[in-house]
Amino acid sequence: MGKLFEKLLTQIEHYDKIFQLYENTSFYKDLKIEKDKLNLLSLAQKVREIKLRMAFIGEFSSGKSTFLNAILQQNILPASFKPTTNQVMTIEHGDLNSVLIVDEPTSTLPLSQENIIQLACKTEKPLDIITSIPEPMDNFILYDTPGVNDPSALTEDIIFDMLGKSDIVIFLMRAENALKHTELDFLKSLVCQKDVSKFFFIINFADNISQKDAIEVQNHVVRTLSNALSWPKKDIEKRVILYSAKQSLQVIKKQNWGSSEWTRHTNVLNTFAMFAIQKREELNYDAIQYEIGAIVQICCQKLDAALDKIAGKDVEYKEQLHKINEEILNFRNLISENENKFRADIDKRTQKLKDGIGYEFDIIKSDVLKHIQIGEENQIKQPEWIQKFLHRNIEDKIDAQMKKFWNGLEDVYKDFDETISPALEASIKRIQGFHKGFNASPLLLGVGASGAVYMGITTTPLCKFVAPLKFQITL
């Protein structure tokens, strides 16, 4: 688990201890925060149970199964077996030591190479393998894609869906002929740009060639990928790794844990783990942090209301309620006046998005015709290759258009904030002027969530709460 996720768990534990302090008070039951506390604890469990996903891709005989066996520290996956091109093996940490066909629990067999081959020959469905996965990979779900003579022969489900949901992708090549034209064409033509950024490139069986040759191969792969994928050389150098899964398995068999080969193996796995954890934290941290803040805020408002009631302030609050409602009404009227401009800006940018998508489809059509004219004959004759090429281009170009669209929306939101925020601050000051030290939280509980949003009970920019406007964008 990364530092950001640990920080979230510490926050949840801290808040839970605070709420526990009130459990023996006479008004605790009236607070009705048990459900909120459970939601907070379920968030903590959600963080603890986050599983990372790692996919392995490589041509037949690239040493993919050997690499996975080195990760598992046991010789389980058959290295010479060649399954169908759509059969993925999912490996997950657990105590069962079993293999089964997905969605067929009655097919479960004890884990062994023979049973894996038996089930793989019986069906084209994916297989699930449950076994003990040593650290630091024990929190990962591992996807072993089928070895093929050409990666472009992999199904669309693997190329787009599985790679899309993976946090990190390991692409294996043999040191003797690393980055063949089929491998490079797969990366250039069929892998989406957003997914290429997840790739690490393993030059496997590096011990089969001299150290000097291995370094030359590594430099060749770095240069070629940097040019082909428009990837800064200094960044891609960190992603291209010389390795020998065969040596790692020998070390494991001899239990030679102090060897330089084992140190290299553990360093590689730690690099993978840290990369995946950081990527997932970047995606999830803000959303989970927001959920925690929302739950804690509700609990604090309930507590404020209960404490003020005990202090006899509830009567005073009721007297102030009509003033608050009037201020909220005035502020909502201001929102309505600016909403039309806001909607017009959204409509304008939505139309621009539609025009941009139409333009990109014209470019895609031109690109496809160009590839058909200059492409390899064996590729052109494969409708599946053209289909995957189209899929990749559409996803990349639409993704770029959507990013531009969302960036434009942020500008719209910012303009909306700059218009509304001064009025919001003025309304808050007027409310505070009703009574020195006046706490708006209990009152805002009475006027509803939209009132709480509009009256600035939180310091979050107003654009984060555009949801009450309930606008829809349809393409």
Q: What secondary structure letter does DSSP report for 148? A: B
Question: Which residue do the tokens 């038996």 mark?
Answer: 118
Task: Supply 398's token pair.
Answer: 């639409």
Burial class (CB in 10 A: 0-12, 13-18, 19+), 259: middle
Can you give the pLDDT at residue 442? 41
Q: What secondary structure letter does DSSP report for 23? A: T
Can you give the pLDDT at residue 315? 60
Helix (H, G, I), strand (E, B) or coil at 287: helix
Can you give the pLDDT at residue 369? 79
Q: How far apart are CA 132 and CA 262, in angstroms?
A: 19
Task: Supply 302's token pair.
Answer: 């309930």
List Cα–Cα distances, 219 to 64, 66, 212, 241, in angstroms. Answer: 22, 24, 11, 10
| 104-110 and 240-242 strand pairing | unpaired
Can you give the pLDDT at residue 239? 94
Helix (H) or strand (E) holding 57: strand 52-58
Question: Which residue do the tokens 């030359």 mark?
Answer: 216
Q: How far apart are CA 275 and CA 197, in angstroms?
A: 11
Task: Supply 139's token pair.
Answer: 């929190």
> CB 32: neighbour CB atoms within 10 A?
11
Closest by CA to 168, choosing from 125, 136, 134, 197, is: 197
> CB 118: neighbour CB atoms within 10 A?
13
Helix (H, G, I), strand (E, B) or coil at 243: coil
At position 123, the amino acid (one-letter code) is T
Cα 287 vs. chain centroid, distance in angstroms? 11
Can you give the pLDDT at residue 464? 37
Q: How far apart are CA 195 and CA 161, in angstroms?
A: 10
Q: Domain 52-255 classified CATH 3.30.300.20?
A: no
The predicted-structure confidence for 24-53, as pLDDT tens digits, reads as follows 777 777 778 888 888 888 888 888 888 999
Task: Supply 83's token pair.
Answer: 């399954």
Helix (H) or strand (E) holding 419: helix 383-434
Can you give the pLDDT at residue 465? 34
Can you give the pLDDT at residue 312? 65
Helix (H) or strand (E) holding 91: strand 89-93
Q: How far apart are CA 214 and CA 430, in angstroms?
A: 73
Q: Where in the chain is the domain with CATH 3.40.50.300?
A: 52-255
Let me know: does 76 contact 69? Beta carbons within 8 Å: yes
Number of H helices, E strands in the chain: 18, 9
List Cα–Cα distances, 215 to 225, 268, 338, 359, 404, in angstroms. Answer: 15, 17, 62, 44, 40
Helices (H), 157-259: 163-165, 181-189, 193-196, 211-229, 233-236, 245-254
Can you give the pLDDT at residue 132? 94
Helices (H), 239-382: 245-254, 260-310, 314-374, 377-380
Can you give the pLDDT at residue 195? 81
Q: How far apart are CA 40 and CA 9, in angstroms?
A: 10
Residue stretches of the chain with pLDDT short of 70 = 1, 80-86, 148-150, 152, 308, 310-322, 375-383, 431-475
Let me know: does 189 contact 389? Beta carbons within 8 Å: yes
Q: What secondary structure letter does DSSP report for 160? A: I
Task: Supply 424's token pair.
Answer: 């919001």
Q: How far apart are CA 313 and CA 300, in angstroms?
A: 17
The predicted-structure confidence for 315-369, as pLDDT tens digits, reads as follows 665 666 667 777 777 777 777 777 778 888 888 888 888 888 888 888 888 887 7
Q: How far apart are CA 99 and CA 115, in angstroms?
A: 7
What would you report as the CA-atom Rg of the chain, rounded to the nearest whole angstrom?
A: 29
Let me know: does 221 contact 203? Beta carbons within 8 Å: yes
